Every structure is written in C-alpha cells, then in structure tokens.
C-alpha cells in the first residue's frame, strides 16, 4: 500500500496539474484555443467592462407611469369588486398626484357593504426594518355620505417600487442574455435606478433599444364605425375608444376599443421567422392555455373585423380576422427587417417592463482603453513577480527558489479558479492579483526564518525543517484568517469592482496558504530525502 506521504504527493500533484491546465487558456487568445485539442480546458476568465470595453448605462424607472398603471389596476379591481357585490356606483376616477382612486356609491344604504368589499383590496406589504407590521398597500376611507377613497400608502409604494425594480432587473437580464454577451452586471442603484454594465458589446444603440423598450403587448379591437383621420384632426374620441398611432413613418391613426382583449402576460413564446407566402420576416407567438382560450373566443366572435396589435402604445399591425384562431398561436407582420424581427421576439419573450426606463447616464468604454489597462496590469504583475522572485532567491537561496515555484503555481491556481467560477476580472481584480504576489511569500518568509532559528539552536536539517513548518503554521493561519475576514467584509458590503477585488484577493490568499505551506513543504521534503544535506542552504 502507498504511504501517507505518497498519497499526499499524488493529491497535491493532481491539484497543481489541474490548476495549470485550467489556467493555460488564459495565456493564449481565443482563436488559438479553438485549435487546441477538445480534451483540454478552453474556458477563459471573463474580462470586465474596464478591461474588455463595453457599455455603462444607468436607467431610472418612471415612477409616475408606474403609479398610473397601478391606479388603473386598482380602478379595475374596484369596478370588479362592486359589480360582484351588485353595488351601483358613479364617478370612478383616479388621481396620480394624490395617488388615489375614488368612487361614489349610488345608494346610501350600500356604503357600508361597498366599504367592506373594497377594504379587502388592501393587502399587507410585509415587515418594516424593525420586524414590525409595515401596514397595507392601500388606505381605504369614507368620503362624505356616499364616497370611498383608496389611497396608495408610502409602505405600499416602497414595496411596489422594490418589486418593479426587481422585475426590471430580471427582464433586462433576459434581454441582454439574448444578445449573447458574457457576464453582464445588472444591479439596483438607489430607490428607482438600475445600473447596467455589459462588457464586450459593440452595438450600444441596439442594446439601448432592447433595454429601453417597455415591451407591453396588447390586442384590441379596431372601432370600424369611427373615422380615424377625422378624429385625429378633431381629437374628439368617442367614449369607450382611444386614439393610437402606428409605428409607421408617417404614423397612421387608429381608433381602438379601450378594452384589452389579450395581453402579453399570456405569451409563453415568441420566435422570429419568415412568411411562407411573401418571405418577409415575421414574429410567431404562442399563448398559454388561458390566453389561447381568450384569443380563440375573441377571434371567433369578431370574424371579418380588424383587430390591432399594440406594442408600447403603438400599433404595429392591424389585420382583419379571416377565421377563428383556436390553436393559441399567431404571427405578427409589419415590414420588419430580420434584426427587427429578432429584437421584437426577444422583447416579447422577456416580458414587459413594469414601467418605462430612461437613460440618465451613459458611458462607453472603448476596447483600446481596455487593452491599455490589461497591458498596464501585465507590466505591474511582471514587475511585482520579478522583484519578489529576485528577493526570495537572494535572501533564501534554494529555499527561495522553492518559494518562487510555489508563487507561480499560486498565480496559475488563481486564474484556474476564476475560470471555473465564471468570475469577471476587472482592473481592481488585477490589483488584487498583484497584491497577492506580494503577500503570497509572507508565509515562506516566516517559515524560512523559523527554520534558521531552529538550525542556530543546533537541530539537524530534517528536524529544523519539520519544526519550522510546524511552529510557523499557527502564525500563518492567524495572519491569513484576519486578512480573509477583512476581504469578506469588502465582498459583503461592496459591489462591482470592489467585489472583483475581494474575489481575486480571497482566491489568492487561500491558494497561497496551499502553495506556501503544502507545496513547498513537499518540495523541501523530497529534496532532503534525495540530497541528504549536512547543512541547509539558508
């Protein structure tokens, strides 16, 4: 059977070899790695925005639009609740300024019943920062002898904003991922802002278009009795209708029924394609079971009538229903280019944003600037590595050479772990690696000095090495653990580049403890067995 030391040698050798293999792709450009054998690792460390170039976009959520949409929903809920309770009402209106919806009850005797029905629309919004009850999202109160008012509360608005920002982040991520980019950074900034950083993107305008479009899809019937051109001039829209323009140039007016027949919330898939007869790019879509049933009923009841497909309050198509569409699928055509059809399918698949996003800050980092940063980082790393190697060799001779070999393995392990994690390397991350190069040999300095003390006390080479590693181990662990605690706090409290610095420093410290203690100890142990020196070259 193999001795414990042999098992240890095998295990350490496997870790080192795997680390070198997974670090290897980072030494060559992607084109070179594509020609390498398939059994070799090909995954490289992802480069951040400051190294690869790309887009930095700060978006702000339109709070007024979000509140307006919410009040629309509340008004619909009020209408439905009163109808279900068979209560007559008038003057159902909403006010964005006061964040409220008010309604008047026809019969005074129904006021208590209406208040009870509408009070059920208010739902709790969770706990506050102290763990107590934060309140409901709506405050329901009586107004005079016949009125009820529903007002959005501050905790309700905060909860709604948090949900809207989170939904926006998820939607943006799905849209950005569809572009094939690697490691985009999408995070909340403040109360109502979202920061988007996409490394390596070349078409920034397309990215802004994909993110900025709300993607709100609706199907509504066209009012065949209305003269759209005349109404567009007079602006006198019949009750129950609305005037919406197309996305054409010049825009074409349409008078539509304001009732939404089917919405994009019922979509489960959307794919670009080509029309089988004309060959023009189109977008095919598919509804879920509820949407398919509703869409089939609408098309069955309105054969021969036009209906409009509206995206972000613009009519993109208004075909005539030739026959009932019962399969839950359909297609959208509108003189699209291939890229426009692709982008529209991405918008529909990713879902609608809860409100409009506006760019308030935009920065583009050029690839040349990123290349300069990488080159500067390389020069700093080479200088740091070279100076440390020279110092260790001059100060400790052969033992310094062992430490230098462990240092090179340490750097390889850092890149290997970053590649396996799929982490993104930023400029602060390179600074972390350079810092690791400097502190990685601290453990070897402690060990070598301890071994010198043991030699001066008269111990043999074998005993001096064993005692040096054993007695220095506690100090090495203590010093590295305290550093790790500070770095983990950085990772926990920081974001973006600060986290990148914390990740590389954490990986580097853990790797340095392995290489400085385990790898160098094995090197020295086998050198002692092979050379059997009478005195240590320290």
Residue range 134-158, pLDDT digits in tens: 578 888 898 888 889 999 998 888 8
Q: At what angle do helices 154-177 and 338-350 cross, to 10 degrees?
A: 140
Closest to 141 (Cα-Cα) out of 132, 150, 129: 150
Residue spans of beta strands (DSSP E) within 300-400: 307-311, 314-317, 329-332, 357-365
pLDDT, tens digit, 9 for 90 and up, residues 296-321 = 888 888 888 888 888 888 888 888 88
Say how many C-beta atoms besides its own lie within 10 A of residue 220's C-beta: 24
At residue 111, does pLDDT exceed 80? yes
Of 127-131, 183-187, 259-263, 477-481, minimum mean pLDDT range: 127-131
Per-residue confidence (pLDDT) for residue 1, from 0 to 100 = 35
At residue 367, does pLDDT exceed 80? no
Using a cut of 0.75, tell me whether the model's pTM lies above it: no
Average pLDDT over residues 480-492: 88
**Residue of 215 and 253 predicted with greater confidence:** 253
At residue 53, does pLDDT exceed 60? yes
Q: What are residue 195's DSSP bridge partners?
A: 58, 187
At residue 129, does pLDDT exceed 50? no
Angstrom distance (rounded) from CA 184 to CA 44: 16
At residue 103's C-alpha, the angle toward residues 100 and 105, to 5°, is 155
Angstrom distance (rounded) from CA 419 to CA 412: 11
pLDDT interval class at 376 (50, 70, 90): confident
Residues 6+ positions from 44 with CB-CB distance below 8 Å: 25, 26, 30, 33, 419
Average pLDDT over residues 403-419: 90
500 three-class SS: helix
At residue 285, does pLDDT exceed 50? yes
Structure tokens at 247: 């996305």
Closest to 102 (Cα-Cα) out of 47, 136, 163, 144: 144
Across 174-205, b (16+ Cβ under 10 Å) vs e yields ebbebbebebbbbeeeeebbbbbbbbbbeeee
- Residue 135 Rama label (left phi>0; alpha psi -120 to 50; beta): left
At residue 67, does pLDDT exceed 50? yes
At residue 439, does pLDDT exceed 70? yes
At residue 69, does pLDDT exceed 70? yes
Please report, rounded to a whole number, the percentage of residues in the chain having pLDDT higher than 90: 5
Average pLDDT over residues 17-35: 76
Cβ 163 vs Cβ 157: under 8 Å? no
Peptide bond into 250 cis (omega under 30): yes
Indicate the average pLDDT of the chain: 83
At residue 370, does pLDDT exceed 70? no
Residues 6+ positions from 502 with CB-CB distance below 8 Å: 432, 487, 488, 490, 491, 494
Structure tokens at 432: 């972390």
Structure tokens at 57: 């976009």
At residue 369, does pLDDT exceed 70? no
Closest to 430 (Cα-Cα) out of 492, 495, 370: 370
CA distances (Å), 72 to each of 46, 93, 100, 463, in order? 44, 9, 10, 82
pLDDT interval class at 182 (50, 70, 90): low
Average pLDDT over residues 466-484: 87
Pairing of strands 307-311, 241-245: unpaired
Average pLDDT over residues 73-81: 86
Cβ 349 vs Cβ 270: under 8 Å? yes
Cβ burial of 265 (10 Å; 0-12, 13-18, 19+) is middle
Say how many C-beta atoms besides its own lie within 10 A of residue 82's C-beta: 21
Per-residue confidence (pLDDT) for residue 194, from 0 to 100 = 92
> Helix, strand, coil proportions of the chain in percent (round to 5)?
55, 20, 25
DSSP 514: I
* Dihedral sign, Cα of residue 151, residue 157, residue 159, residue 160: positive
pLDDT interval class at 45 (50, 70, 90): confident
Pairing of strands 357-365, 307-311: unpaired
Please count the CA atoms within 13 angstroms of the CA of 47 that sit on its side-chain side: 19
pLDDT, tens digit, 9 for 90 and up, residues 381-410 = 888 888 988 998 898 889 999 999 999 999
Pairing of strands 262-263, 217-221: antiparallel
**Residue of 166 and 279 predicted with greater confidence:** 166
Cβ burial of 119 (10 Å; 0-12, 13-18, 19+) is middle
Per-residue confidence (pLDDT) for residue 378, from 0 to 100 = 78
- Residue 99 Rama label (left phi>0; alpha psi -120 to 50; beta): left
At residue 181, does pLDDT exceed 80? no
At residue 427, does pLDDT exceed 70? yes
Per-residue confidence (pLDDT) for residue 59, from 0 to 100 = 92
Which range, 33-47, 336-350, 451-465, is most confident?
A: 451-465
Q: What are residue 284's DSSP bridge partners?
A: 271, 331
298 three-class SS: helix
Per-residue confidence (pLDDT) for residue 40, from 0 to 100 = 76
Residues 6+ positions from 92 with CB-CB distance below 8 Å: 75, 78, 79, 101, 102, 103
At residue 295, does pLDDT exceed 60? yes
Angstrom distance (rounded) from CA 102 to CA 151: 9
Say how many C-beta atoms besides its own lie within 10 A of residue 259's C-beta: 11
Cβ 467 vs Cβ 485: under 8 Å? no
Per-residue confidence (pLDDT) for residue 102, from 0 to 100 = 92
Per-residue confidence (pLDDT) for residue 430, from 0 to 100 = 84
Per-residue confidence (pLDDT) for residue 130, from 0 to 100 = 44
Sequence-distant contacts of 131-134: CB under 8 A, at least 24 apart: 134/159
At residue 230, does pLDDT exceed 70? yes
Angstrom distance (rounded) from CA 117 to CA 120: 6
DSSP 375: H
């Amino acid at each position: 059977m193999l001795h414990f030391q042999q098992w240890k040698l095998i295990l350490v050798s496997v870790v080192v070899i795997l680390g070198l293999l997974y670090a290897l792709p980072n030494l060559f450009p992607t084109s070179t790695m594509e020609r390498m054998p398939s059994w070799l690792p090909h995954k490289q460390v992802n480069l951040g925005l400051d190294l690869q170039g790309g887009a930095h976009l700060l978006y702000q959520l339109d709070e007024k639009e979000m509140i307006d949409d919410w009040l629309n929903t509340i008004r619909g809920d009020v209408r439905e609740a009163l109808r279900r309770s068979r209560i007559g009402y008038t003057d159902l209106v909403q006010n964005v300024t006061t964040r409220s919806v008010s309604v008047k009850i026809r019969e005074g005797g129904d006021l208590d019943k209406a208040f009870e029905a509408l009070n059920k629309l208010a739902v709790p919004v969770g706990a506050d920062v102290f763990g107590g009850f934060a309140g409901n999202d709506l405050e329901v109160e009586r107004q005079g002898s016949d009125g009820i008012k529903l007002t959005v509360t501050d905790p309700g608005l905060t909860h709604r904003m948090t949900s809207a920002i989170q939904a926006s982040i998820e939607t943006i991520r799905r849209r950005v991922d569809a572009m094939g980019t690697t490691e985009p950074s999408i995070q909340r900034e403040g109360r109502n802002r979202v920061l988007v950083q996409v490394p390596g993107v070349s078409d920034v305008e397309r990215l802004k278009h994909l993110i900025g479009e709300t993607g709100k899809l609706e199907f509504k019937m066209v009012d065949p009795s209305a003269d759209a051109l005349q109404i567009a001039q007079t602006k006198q829209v019949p009750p129950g209708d609305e005037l919406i323009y197309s996305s054409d140039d010049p825009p074409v007016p349409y008078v539509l029924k304001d009732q939404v027949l089917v919405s994009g919330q019922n979509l489960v898939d959307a794919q670009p394609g080509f029309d089988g007869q004309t060959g023009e790019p189109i977008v095919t879509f598919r509804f879920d079971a509820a949407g398919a049933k509703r869409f089939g009923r609408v098309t069955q009841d309105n054969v021969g009538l036009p209906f409009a497909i509206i995206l972000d309050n613009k009519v993109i198509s208004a075909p005539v229903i030739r026959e009932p569409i019962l399969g839950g699928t359909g297609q959208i055509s509108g003189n699209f280019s291939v890229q426009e059809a692709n982008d529209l399918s991405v918008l529909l698949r990713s879902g609608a944003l809860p409100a409009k996003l506006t760019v308030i800050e935009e920065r583009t980092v050029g690839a040349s600037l990123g290349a300069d940063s990488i080159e500067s980082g390389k020069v700093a790393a080479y200088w740091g590595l070279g100076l440390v190697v020279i110092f260790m060799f001059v100060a400790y001779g052969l033992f310094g050479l062992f430490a230098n070999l462990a240092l090179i393995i340490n750097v390889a392990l850092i890149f290997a772990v970053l590649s396996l994690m799929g982490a993104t390397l930023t400029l602060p991350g390179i600074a972390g690696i350079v810092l690791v190069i400097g502190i990685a040999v601290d453990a070897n300095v402690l060990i070598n000095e301890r071994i010198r003390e043991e030699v001066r006390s008269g111990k043999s080479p074998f005993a001096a090495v064993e005692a040096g590693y054993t007695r220095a181990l506690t100090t090495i662990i203590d010093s590295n653990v305290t550093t790790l605690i500070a770095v983990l706090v950085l990772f926990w409290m920081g974001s973006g580049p600060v986290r990148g610095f914390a990740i590389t420093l954490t990986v580097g410290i853990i790797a340095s403890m392995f290489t400085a203690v385990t790898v160098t100890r094995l090197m020295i142990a086998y050198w002692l067995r092979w050379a059997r020196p009478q005195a240590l070259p320290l």
